[in-house]
Structure 1
Amino acid sequence: MASTAKRLLEQLSRPGPHDVLRGDLALVGLPGVVFTPRAGLNLPAVAFGHGWLQPPGRYHGLLRHLASWGIVAAAPATHRGPLPSHRLFAADLRSTLDLVTTLRLGPDGISVDPTKLGLAGHSVGGGAAVLAAASNDTDNARQVKAVATVAAAQTMPPATTAARSVTAAGLHLAGEEDLLAPAAGNAEAISKEWAGPAQLRMISKMTHLGVTEGTHWSQLLLQGKPQYTAQRRVRALFTAFFLTTLAGDDTYRKLLDTDFRAARIEYDNRAALTNA
């Protein structure tokens, strides 16, 4: 790995410079959680979709990490049953962006810039994030600029079909040892159908639940368990991606442009679209 990219990976895998506040979305009518920097105006914001059967609590570390780097991060706690509606889950992700954009956040009036919105998700939450991003065409007031997924799962309607209309920047991470959402069946197909600039990376040794935190009964049904190293890599790449695409900070672009063994690039169409 190039020395600059290695330094950025290590830097972004650690908490950022901001103190973090936590809030409850249920107070405004939508079950879920929101993490924000202690202060800031016109901040970028990301709505995160949980994986199948997973509570948002299994991603609090990731959400808190994004907030520590100046990004408002919120996750709805809806559609957690065995038969979730992917379409309605996607709508809840859009609603989450509406809430954090229009409501007063924090005691000092933290605000979100409606032109700096992103979506993210794990497993079915990643697929739902793709569905939510595809509705950009019908939601001119809340245009999503960036989408990041990890171990994205197929949805109904299909996330692969929805990806054909997503012009936002995309970062898709897949686990090298993920048996439930293998890259060849999900993340790769979504990446190659992506209408906008997209990159697919393979996270070394990561299983399906590697990005989750703590313990949960669903580990008896699903493959894998929390993996600290995988979590650090996902946090660093998500942070670099959203700071670059939403905050307009090119400080961390080198990390996104560098291919390295721990998160090797499997597909990248960004240069082709830039030169088109």
Structure 2
Amino acid sequence: MARRVITLTAKQALEQLSRPGPHPVLRGDLALVGLPGVVFTPATGLGLPAVAFGHGWMQPVRRYHGLLRHLASWGVVAAAPAVERGPLLSARVLSANLLTTLDICTGVRLGTGDISVDPTRLALAGHSMGGGAAVLAASSSPKVRAVVTLAATETRPSALDAARSVSAPGLHLAAGEDRIAPPVGHSEAIASAWGGPVQLRLLPKASHLGFTEGRHWSELMLDGRGERGAQKIGRAFVAAFLLRVLLGERAYDSLLDEDSKGAELVLQREGLRKPA
């Protein structure tokens, strides 16, 4: 008998996915296996999907702990390497460490050995320069099945050039009030060049740092600060996208398919969704 699928409205999906999911969450230290960073996992589960997350320029990984924990509560192993934390961040090095993080997640039994990751259900994500690094990493790895960026910035080597060779589905969330990486020259350009299925959404009131959590001295140099509205929308859309692409979850299709006042659909090329 076919499984009955209950599809929520976009509003219902946003409210549900912006709250913690049903899974208890464990936190671990990537340094135990040789790479500084953090990993959040559901308390149990075999063959889980996983995402490696790249931090923004001068941003400590702790500013994304809420997002990582949120994804784990929805059944996705979420890890972030704590590397390239100085002002001379190398997008190339960070992208390599993102792929190493995925290798760790798939090659090591997590928790007490009762948590594992399916190597065919892997994703990359990142904020600011970490978003650009995620694009670079995806362009060089066929094992990546999904990519998400939050207020992505162009990088050296060029994330824009790399985007042309990424065939995995991509979701790009741009900040309308971003004066560090204005969408036109960064997120929109990357999305327009994307080689595979792609969706670009604009959060009109969000700033460049809107997706980050807590406070940090870098706010004295950079534009904006952590914003609850951007965090809520970001968590919901990232969760919906990863659950859809990596697990084929269809209950939240309306959130990904419809326009939204808080996350305007600017660009979409077909093929984002798996066939029913």
> What is the rounded CA distance, in whole Å, between the counterparts of 1:53 and 1:85 in structure 2?
11
| 1:232 corresponding residue in structure 2 | 232
Query: For 2:147, what is the secondary structure of its paired residue?
Result: strand
Match of 1:32 among 23, 29, 37: 37
Pairing 1:81–2:86 present: yes
Query: For 1:93, what is the secondary structure of its paired residue?
Result: helix
> What is the rounded CA distance, in whole Å, between the counterparts of 2:251 and 2:83 in structure 1?
35
When normalised by structure 2's length, the TM-score is 0.95
| 2:172 corresponding residue in structure 1 | 172
Pairing 1:100–2:105 present: yes
1:169-208: CA deviation from partner (whole Å, max 9, x where unpaired): 0000001111111110101110011000000000131001
Native 8 Å contact 1:36 1:70 kept in 2: yes
Match of 1:123 among 100, 113, 128: 128
Match of 2:65 among 60, 64, 67: 60
Query: For 2:28, what is the secondary structure of its paired residue?
Result: strand
Match of 2:17 among 12, 35, 39: 12
| 2:49 corresponding residue in structure 1 | 44
> What is the rounded CA distance, in whole Å, between the counterparts of 1:204 and 1:233 in structure 2?
12
- Per the TM alignment, residue 94 of structure 1 is displaced from its structure 2 partner at its CA by 0.1
When normalised by structure 1's length, the TM-score is 0.95
Question: Would the alpha carbon gap of residues 175 and 43 (structure 1) be closer, same or farther in structure 2, given more than 3 Å must change?
Answer: same
| 1:265 corresponding residue in structure 2 | 265
Match of 1:134 among 139, 158, 161: 139
Native 8 Å contact 2:199 2:272 kept in 1: no
Match of 1:113 among 102, 107, 118: 118
Native 8 Å contact 1:196 1:273 kept in 2: no
Structure 2: runs of 5+ lacking an equivalent: 1-7
- Per the TM alignment, residue 56 of structure 1 is displaced from its structure 2 partner at its CA by 0.5
| 1:205 corresponding residue in structure 2 | 205
Structure 1: runs of 5+ lacking an equivalent: 138-142
Native 8 Å contact 2:248 2:274 kept in 1: no
Query: For 2:251, what is the secondary structure of its paired residue?
Result: helix
Query: For 2:52, what is the secondary structure of its paired residue?
Result: strand
The percent identity for this pair of structures is: 61
Native 8 Å contact 2:169 2:272 kept in 1: no
Structural RMSD (CA): 1.7
1:133-156: CA deviation from partner (whole Å, max 9, x where unpaired): 00025xxxxx00000000000101
